[in-house]
Amino acid sequence: MSDDDVVISNQRRRLLTGLGTAALGGFVANLGLLSTNANAAEASGMSNFAGGGGNPSICVFDVNETLLDIEYLGPVFQRVFGDKKVVREWFNQLILYSNAVTLSGPYTTFFTLGQGILKMLGTIHHVSVKESDVDELRERMLTMPAHPDVPAGLKQLKEAGFRLVTLTNSPPDPNVSPLKHAGIDGFFEKSLSIDRVRRFKPAPQVYHMAAEELNVTPSAICMVAAHVWDTIGAQSVGCAGALVARPGNAPLPVPSLPQPQAVAPDLPGVASQLIKLWRS
């Protein structure tokens, strides 16, 4: 092994050690927070939250790809990269780096991160990304349409008595409401953002924040998402999970991981299963 190889090996070892320490530290901190909350509740002899038992009564929805169609971003990628399918590479990198941000400590918004990743992909693919491209991406991220099946599925759940809420990685925008632009904001009693805790899904703090905002325990919530990483995150803190298996998404068949209680290719299919499980 050359001296250069030894240096690189040592650098990798230090990096992996640092990542492991950071992840363990975050895990221990979360356990400490949960223990403190549990002890406080036990000491008082009562819980501050409603909905501590029984079936989930609140459907909390992911927004991007679950409700809103990210293929609407395709024209930007077609023009810049010559292939609209690069939108999938961009979205996967966006999720990867949002988790890197959460694990490592700094914070930036989902939109800012998405614009930076567009420029990063330009470098990777050796194409020029103009500021006008970045601006158009942001504009399109704020104005994505709902999937055609979404209104019917939301109507089913609302008529069955479920409370409907959204929980998104995107920051709140005082000027533009993506849900209102998509024509579905009227279905939801509240819209929540990870921006409050400055951690991206599937960090446990996000789902605990949602339960706190809704004044319920996690067991009262069913997380409805198009991504298994989101349902895993929610179920890991005590929520139920439902997977809308949009194209490119599917259950993750690993026995040691929590599996969603409902899986269907569209929202009406998921809604029918949830109603049968908890409302019939």
Residues 6+ away with beta carbon under 8 Å from 223: 60, 62, 167, 207, 230, 231, 233, 234, 235, 239, 240, 241, 242
The pLDDT assigned to 45 comes to: 31
The pLDDT assigned to 280 comes to: 82
Greatest pairwise CA separation for the chain in angstroms: 69
3-class secondary structure, 164: strand
How far apart, in whole angstroms, are the C-alpha atoms of residue 165 and residue 211? 11
Question: What are the DSSP calls for 255-280, one per residue?
Answer: TTS---SEEESSHHHHHHHHHHHHT-
pTM: 0.81
Kindly give the confidence (pLDDT) of every residue in the chain, 280 residues in length, as a single tens digit, with 9 standing for 90 and above. 444 444 334 444 443 344 344 443 443 344 343 333 333 333 333 334 444 558 999 999 999 999 999 999 999 999 999 999 999 999 999 999 999 999 999 999 999 999 999 999 999 999 999 999 999 999 999 999 999 999 999 999 999 999 999 999 999 887 889 999 999 999 999 999 999 999 999 999 999 999 999 999 999 999 999 999 999 999 999 999 999 999 999 999 999 999 999 999 999 999 999 999 999 8
The pLDDT assigned to 53 comes to: 59
- State the number of CA atoms in the 13 A half-sphere of 226 facing the CB: 19
| Sign for the pseudo-dihedral over CA of 230, 232, 233, 239 | positive
